[in-house]
Structure 1
Amino acid sequence: MHFNLFHFILGFLVCIQAVVSAADYYQILGVSKDASESEIRKAYRQLTKQWHPDKNPGNEEAQEKFIEINKAHEVLSDPEQRKIYDAYGEEGLNGQPGGPGGGPGEGFPGGGFGFDPFGDIFDNIFGGRRRQNAVRRGPSMEQIVQIHLSSFYTGGSFTLEIPVKRTCSVCSGQGFNPKYSADKAIESCPVCGGSGFRVIEHMIAPGFRQQMRMPCNACNGNGRTIKHKCPRCKGERVAEVVESFDIKVPAGAPEGYRIGFRGKADEIPGMEAGDIIVILEAAGGDYGWTRKDNDLYRKETISVREALLGNWKRKIQKLDGSFMEVKRSAGEVVHPGETERVKNQGMPIYNLHKGKTTSAHGSAYIEWEVKFPKKLKGKFLKDLNNLFEKYDNEFDEL
């Protein structure tokens, strides 16, 4: 009896461990647990390109992998969700003790069908309560858009077209050809016999066999398959359309500025649509300027005469098309590589906390490059030598 009890406890603990480690989001994205946000975002972009359903048509494994990648990114890219996940694992995100709440069965095989393989054990031993069904949320979509640096400076708006999947307009999301009635177009799944589940049994410890009921992958747990598929969506119940989104860029918006559209991601049958996140990045420098946070940088070339003698003015074009003036007094020397700071001529400063552009600006930094002649010769070389010889002591003192 002690032997059987021991194996029962051992098997139970193995099952719990299997559930807890069912989804390692870091492993899914191929990053370490101390990965930065940029490392997570880079890994996510590479994987979504590789496993996107559009690049793997008819590949169910790719579709499942794509959803898995998006789920992992959704959690690890959110500081709060990541903190909960690191502390409590996936169950912390699914409404278990310490979690913020979530749908039923997430993290368990059969999630979304209200099936919990250990529900009876917890109910009988620990007196737990079964959770009510809830609609799961689909993955969010990230769209990176490159805009001119001048657009970050001045702000503005533009329309962005994004291909998304929406409920098929031909079959109204039914998946079958509307020429046929449901009775003729739909039949029971030949794999699961219409139950929607498959029973998988394997030994997880000596003397302890585990039986798990999994959603049928042939019919996605519906118990039915489509005999006459919709000509538009091919039975997927959703079809691709192009939608327009109004993008508003506030003046001084930081690099990587994110604009969210709630519930506008791909529609997935049986799930709530995720969000579309538009991420703004600079396409390159405008008018010779580059950006670092709220400051702007550029290089300007001057002649040897200007560098030595001064007594000049120069107008430099700003990102909004206007000009600022930089000047040197007579005798004011500019050294090659010297950097000049011009206050309040940088980027408008955007307050992320308040969500608005302030009246303050960063600084502009100008690095001076001196254009030297390739070679000196003739009378100019002779006169210059004489000049240096005549004022040799004065040059040494400078």
Structure 2
Amino acid sequence: MLDIRWISANSDKAIAALVARGWHSQEASAEISAIVSLDEERRGHLTSLQKAQERRNQASKEIGQAMAAKDMAKADSLKVEVAQIKNDVQAGEAREREIDLALADKLARLPNVPLEDVPHGKDEADNVEVRRVGEPRVEEEWIKEHFEIGEALGQMDFERAAKLSGARFTVLSGQIARLERALGQFMLDTHTQEHGYTEVNPPVLVRDEALFGTGQLPKFTEDLFKTTEGRWLIPTAEVTLTNLVREEIVDFSDLPLRFTALTPCFRSEAGSAGRDTRGMLRQHQFNKVELVSITAEDKSLKEHERMTECAEAVLKKLELPFRTVVLCTGDMGFGAQKTYDIEVWLPGQKTYREISSCSICGDFQARRMNARYRAAGEKQTRFVHTLNGSGTAVGRALIAVIENYQNEDGSISVPSALRPYMSGVERIGA
């Protein structure tokens, strides 16, 4: 959530930020104007309420003075005035709550402001490549996509998954199921043992407040799954890991906090009709290793680069070709100030596909969560800065391993980094 004081003082910048994110200029101007007007109304209303309270308190004292002077007519008149002020204040407080709710709702739907170095653009075509690591595999004629390989091995079943759950689900079995488990364990070990992250095993069911805190609610309700008793299935462990500091004042000496978790994630893919319908690229349920950092405001930019390097390290260990791009303003997520996407090479598709997304959010989420810290020697608290990244998506890493390590006979070689997690298995065959 953006600071209303910043919006009021920098309305032109706020409008420009919305336009950069794809809003029409007239729509952006109207929305910011409405927010500023609501804030002005709120502040004016609070001033009126304060004056009314002051007059009520003064009139109450005057009643006592009139009673002491046995001026009952004045006392009775003042009592009528106090009663009327009481009614007016109650009505005013109700109106205050209405204004606060309206303003909070509008603020909750505004996206974060991109950092100055983020490239301007409309969509993924305007993203900028930062670096490329590894050489994409030579395109042999026999190269297949992951679902062709998995089905031929009898260890990837989409038909049975559809019978159980419908489209966008997969049943893995045998050594491919084990390979996916190995990938998750390998990633957790890498991040905890080499990168200093603390492993967390969080709930996958959360309340409204948690999803509001990280920005999924209220804007992205249709992308989520909700249980019949009101809890939500997490779309990413970013939700639970970031909310660990919700409504807390973190000790400055404990920063940065770095958390990682391997969890199932659930997404409705509401806006993806017709996209990636074959295979495992876009599923309703998938596993992901998440990275979350909680930092002081002057450390977050450096932490963003570090987190991206940690995610890249996984692909380097697996010896998978990838490239890292910085997303343009029109392609960034709702809560991000800046995002690096890491895209792994898929020889079956002959293209790079996203496998990790690392974002710096500034104090955007912290304001929604009321998560703060107190800097050394300061009395006032500050909002923490939050960052999140995939470290990485396990299902997509499985796809990348299958396609990059496939052999002409239909088998899959196991990357050396994963063999300790596979009891030394070097090849997966039928």
**When you count strand as a share of all residues, which structure comes out higher?**
1
Task: Report which of the two has the higher share of helix.
Answer: 2
Q: TM-score range by the shorter chain?
A: under 0.3
Q: With a CA cutoff of 8 Å and minimum separation of 6, indicate the structure with the bigger relative contact order.
A: 2
Give the structure-2-normalised TM-score: 0.20
Larger Rg: 1
